[in-house]
Amino acid sequence: MISQKINNLISNHGLDSYLSNSKLMKEGSENTEEIYLAGGCLWGVQEFVRHLLGVIYTEAGRANGTSSSTKSAYDGYAECVRTIFDPNQVTVARLVEYLFEIIEPYSLNKQGPDVGEKYLTGIYSKSEKHLQEAKSWIKSRKDAERIVVEVLPLTNFVVSDLEHQDRLTRYPDDKCHIPETLLHKYKGL
């Protein structure tokens, strides 16, 4: 499995080797799609999402801000995780369902101890089909009217600095808002 190859590269050779070999994300499946998931602090979201069945590659970043740099002041972005996945293994609806396992969907601009506009929850994509599938899944819930997760077209994505990429894989003692048992619920499955 491709994600296992990536995990092994990071574990055995470090992030530099992983990044220089990121071409692995294209191996094994010509049918990949991407979606951007925001669930508060991106460290935990990336660590959780990277272990999901069908997820091939993740990259920490910022969605829908106005800048093209991480060095600028806050510009309306949401911390998010670019998620490349194989739609033959996992659907958008299932990815949204997974996201809802690790977020408080009624909380605006706050997840756990992380507070601020950049910690909002959202689902972003360049694919209208993805956005409709996410909206339909949310609308099907009994609590849909209380949910504040935004579902919007992706207008901008800025890759986070290296220190934030796969942070909890490289520094497992660092903390995030997701309990560790939940954080690794799908690891190794």
Residue 168, domain member (yes or no): yes
Strand-strand pairing, 150-153 and 121-125: parallel
**Alpha-carbon separation of residue 7 from 1, 102, 116, 124, 134 (angstroms):** 10, 21, 31, 25, 28
Domain count, the chain: 1
Give the global pTM.
0.84
State yes or no: pLDDT of 189 exceeds 80.
no
Average the pLDDT over 93-111 and give the result.
96
Residue 21, domain member (yes or no): no
Burial class (CB within 10 angstroms; exposed 0-12, middle 13-18, buried 19+) of 1: exposed
| Cα R_g (the chain), whole angstroms | 16
pLDDT bin (cut points 50, 70, 90) of residue 21 is very low
Residue 36, helix vs strand vs coil: strand
Residue 14, domain member (yes or no): no
pLDDT at 66: 87
Average the pLDDT over 77-84 and give the result.
95
* Residue range(s) defining the domain that contains residue 158: 30-66+74-183
pLDDT at 85: 98
pLDDT bin (cut points 50, 70, 90) of residue 96 is very high
Whole-number Å distance between alpha carbons of 113 and 126 = 30
138-169: pLDDT as tens digits: 999 999 999 999 999 999 999 988 888 998 78
Residue 1, domain member (yes or no): no
Show the tokens assigned to 94. Answer: 């299932």
Residue 100, domain member (yes or no): yes
What residue ranges in the chain does DSSP mark as E strands? 33-39, 55-63, 78-85, 110-111, 114-115, 121-125, 150-153, 157-159
Closest by Cα among 25, 33, 30 to 57: 25
pLDDT bin (cut points 50, 70, 90) of residue 46 is very high
pLDDT bin (cut points 50, 70, 90) of residue 18 is very low
Whole-number Å distance between alpha carbons of 35 and 42 = 14
Average the pLDDT over 123-151 and give the result.
98
Residue 115, domain member (yes or no): yes
Assign residue 127 the CATH number of its domain: 3.30.1060.10
State yes or no: pLDDT of 7 exceeds 70.
no
Residue 2, domain member (yes or no): no
Residue 178, helix vs strand vs coil: coil
Residue 169, domain member (yes or no): yes
Mean pLDDT (the chain) is: 86
